[in-house]
Amino acid sequence: MKTYGSEPGAPEPVQVGISEFVVRGKESTETLKSYGLGSCLAIALYDPDSGIGGLAHVMLPDGDTADGADTQPGKYADTAIRAMLRRMVEKGAAYTSVEAKIAGGSDMFEFESFGDGVGNRNVAAAKEELGKLGVPIIGEDVGGQRGRTVEFDVGTGTLQIRTADGDRGVTEL
């Protein structure tokens, strides 16, 4: 994975903030980066044939019944996945070649009265939506109680994950 910022003149990664998604084509030399994933989930979609990919930083599981999902599809796992896929196909990706990698979805706090935490629900919603759409998940680093930062190299399809506590180092999917 390329590490930008360490080389003089290298481009800075494009930050993908909470409730946002970004799609880039193979001509892009940028990496896409999301910081501070706790219960939020990073969803990276990539078409290896066309080199088109995207990264979403979703906050909540289900936008189909939520107010504002139409105006901010990146906020919800289900609507972010559909919106990213649409944008990727518009740029030339083949829907049937798209693969997914997911990271995050931690349960940072325990609230017994709420049942499954938001992190678990985000992971379940993303897996359900990807399954409905026939998009295989080829890598995941989810759950636990650690925050994560991810960097997605659209040129290679590599998703690099760093944990907040640093114990695990860097994981590449």
* CA–CA separation, 27 and 11 (whole Å): 14
Reply yes or no on whether 40 is catalytic: yes
Structure tokens at 108: 């940072």
* CA–CA separation, 138 and 136 (whole Å): 6
Beta strands across the sheet bearing 41-47: 20-24, 52-58, 41-47, 99-104, 137-142
Of 40, 60, 135, 173, catalytic: 40
Are the beta carbons of 34 and 22 closer than 8 angstroms? no
Enzyme catalytic residues: 40
